Amino acid sequence: MTADAPRPASPAHRLPLRWRVMDRVEAVAAALWPAAFRRATPWAFLAPALLLVGILLIGLGYLVSDSLHELNPATYRLRAEYSAGNYEAILHKPVYLAVLWRSLLAAVLVTALTLVFAFPYAYVMVRTRSGALRKLLLVSLFLPFFIGQVVRAYGWLIILGKQGLVNQALEGLGLPAATLIYTYPAVIFGLVQYMLPFAVLMLAPALTAIHEEVELASESLGADWLRTFRHIVIPMAKPGIVGASVVVFTLTLTDFAMPEILGGGTNDFIANTIYDMFFQLSNPGLASALSTVLVAVGSLIVALVFRLAGTGTLGLRSGS
């Protein structure tokens, strides 16, 4: 080896592997995306989401268009003439208003009950000093996501059915069997259990943002735990409460599986009615009108919540 020949870098002076990998990645990115295009980088990241939103808007446009055509019973095709007949049918037939009212009431009940159960769960998960308990709560929180909604609903059939575990326990105690399944409370119960993990996931970041020193300061000034929880924790957790409420409300309002399986066809929500209109009665015009009403009512309620309480954890700034 001559004196001018480059010497290999000693292991002590070689860059870490991850640094060399990042250098290679940056070099490839610079070759594929020149500096002149960097201003367009944010739009490139937004492009897939904007494309999906655009497809959704196109679908909504077709939905609104179909809702303005009535079904021709002779041909089972939509008439070419535009009319408001489908919307008049929704407003004048009590069955559709009853379904819409049942869905809205369930969405409100499920949202309230879910928050009642989710808030202490999220609070304990965030505040506990036990690592084992936190891991147990986290595993219990994410485990239901590995089980589909339909499977969970059929699981409740095993528990709440006429020959289910609850009735077997009642019979063992000498009590008469109870009708627990195919009822409105059964649907509410199943939906609360399904929505609980979503609410906890929305509440946990808001509770994490509340420093424990704030609660300690409140208690040091004479407030007991209940007053601290009421006047400090809940108001400061408002962004998470708003976000969880909106997510649970919208998911419940449009849910199909729980009312279908646990309701047994006697407690249909508006999503079930829309499905029946499309695939059982072959009336896409009326189904589109119901879908449009569902989107409009849900959007108005969510907009009202955002107006009154802010966007919560769903927005970048509190109160925006």
Three-class secondary structure assignment of the chain: CCCCCCCCCCHHHCCCHHHHHHHHHHHHHHHHCCHHHHHHHHHHHHHHHHHHHHHHHHHHHHHHHHHCCCEECCCCEECCCCCCHHHHHHHHCHHHHHHHHHHHHHHHHHHHHHHHHHHHHHHHHHHCCCHHHHHHHHHHHHHHHHCCHHHHHHHHHHHHCCCCHHHHHHHHCCCCCCCCCCCHHHHHHHHHHHHHHHHHHHHHHHHHCCCHHHHHHHHHCCCCHHHHHHHHHHHHCHHHHHHHHHHHHHHHHCCCHHHHHHCCCCCCCHHHHHHHHHHCCCCHHHHHHHHHHHHHHHHHHHHHHHHHHCCHHHCCCCCC
pLDDT at 1: 47
- Number of Cβ atoms within 10 Å of the Cβ of 77: 13
pTM of the model: 0.80
pLDDT at 204: 92
- How does the average pLDDT of the chain come out, rounded? 87
**What is the distance between the alpha carbons of residues 187 and 99, in angstroms, rounded to a whole number?**
14
CB 156 within 8 A of CB 150: no
Q: Examine the pLDDT at 103 and tell me if it is beyond 90.
A: yes
Residue with tokens 């989401």: 49
Residue-wise pLDDT tens digits, 220-264? 888 888 898 889 899 999 889 998 999 999 999 999 888 888 888
Amino acid at 88: E
CB 162 within 8 A of CB 177: yes
pLDDT at 6: 53
CB 308 within 8 A of CB 245: no
pLDDT at 307: 86
Domains contained in the chain, CATH given: 85-307 (1.10.3720.10)
Q: How sure is the predictor about 51, in pLDDT bands with cuts at 50, 70 and 90?
A: very high
Q: How sure is the predictor about 290, in pLDDT bands with cuts at 50, 70 and 90?
A: very high
Residue range 47-58: average pLDDT? Answer: 93
In this structure, the chain runs to a length of 320
